[in-house]
Amino acid sequence: MKRWFLVSSFLIVISLLLLGCGRREEEGALKVALEAAPVNLDPRIGTDLASARVHELVFNRLVTTDIHSEIIPELAERVELSGDRIYIFHLRRGVRFHDGHELTSADVRYTFESLLSPDFISVKKHHFKIVERIETPDRYTVKFILKKPFSSFLINIAGVGIVPAGAGKDFSHHPIGTGPFRLMTYREDEELVFSRFDHYFEGKPKLKRLVLKIIPDATTRMLALEKGEVDLIINALPPDMVMVLAKKHGLNLITAPGCNYTYLGFNFRDKLIKRKAIREAIAYAINRDEIIRTLLGGLAEKADGILARGNWAYEDDVAHYPYDPERAKRVLDEAGFPDPDGEGPAPRITLTLKVSNNKFSRDLATVFASELARVGIRLNIRSYEWQTFYSDIIKGNFQIYLLRFIGATDPDIYRYCFHSGSVPPNGANRGAYSNPRLDKLIEKAMITLDKKERKRLYSEIQKIVAEDLPYVSLWHNKNFALFRDGITNLILYPNANFKYLKDVVIKR
Sketch out the chain's domains with CATH numbers. Answer: 49-173 (3.90.76.10), 258-478 (3.10.105.10)
Q: Does residue 4 or residue 352 have the better pLDDT?
A: 352
CA dihedral 266, 269, 271, 273 (to 10 degrees): 10
Residue 8 above 60 pLDDT?
Answer: no
pLDDT band at 47; cut points 50, 70, 90:
confident
pLDDT at 4: 36
Q: How confident is the model at residue 48 (pLDDT cuts 50, 70, 90)?
A: confident
- Other C-beta atoms closer than 10 Å to the C-beta of 346 total 10
Provide CB contacts within 8 A for 236, sequence distance 6+.
33, 34, 35, 218, 221
d(CA 393, CA 280) in angstroms, rounded, equals 21
pLDDT tens digit string along 86-122?
999 999 999 999 999 999 999 999 999 999 999 998 8
Whether the pLDDT of residue 236 is over 70: the answer is: yes
**Average pLDDT, rounded, for the chain:** 91
How high is the pLDDT of residue 26? 56
Average pLDDT over residues 50-79: 94
Q: By the 8 A CB rule, do 369 and 264 touch?
A: no
What tens digit of pLDDT does each residue of 137-155 get? 999 999 999 999 999 999 9
Report the pLDDT averaged over residues 22-47.
82
Q: Residue 503 has what pLDDT?
A: 95
Q: What is the pLDDT of residue 442?
A: 96
Q: Provide the pLDDT for residue 474.
A: 98
pLDDT score at 427: 85
pTM for the whole structure: 0.83
CA neighbor of 115 nearest in space, from 66, 150, 149, 163? 163
DSSP, residue by residue, 180-228: SEEEEEEETTTEEEEEE-TT-TT---S--EEEEEE---HHHHHHHHHHT
Tell me the mean pLDDT in the region 422-440.
94
Rounded distance between C-alpha atoms, residue 16 and residue 8, angstroms: 12
pLDDT class of 495 with cuts at 50, 70, 90:
confident
Cα gap 195→19, rounded to integer Å: 18
pLDDT at 280 over 80: yes
Q: Given pLDDT bands bounded at 50, 70 and 90, which one contains residue 127? A: confident
CB 501 within 8 A of CB 57: yes
3-state secondary structure at position 77: strand
| Alpha-carbon span 507 to 275, nearest angstrom | 59
Contact of 188 with 9, CB cutoff 8 Å = no
For residue 359, the model assigns a pLDDT of 85
Q: Say yes or no to pLDDT of 21 above 50.
A: no
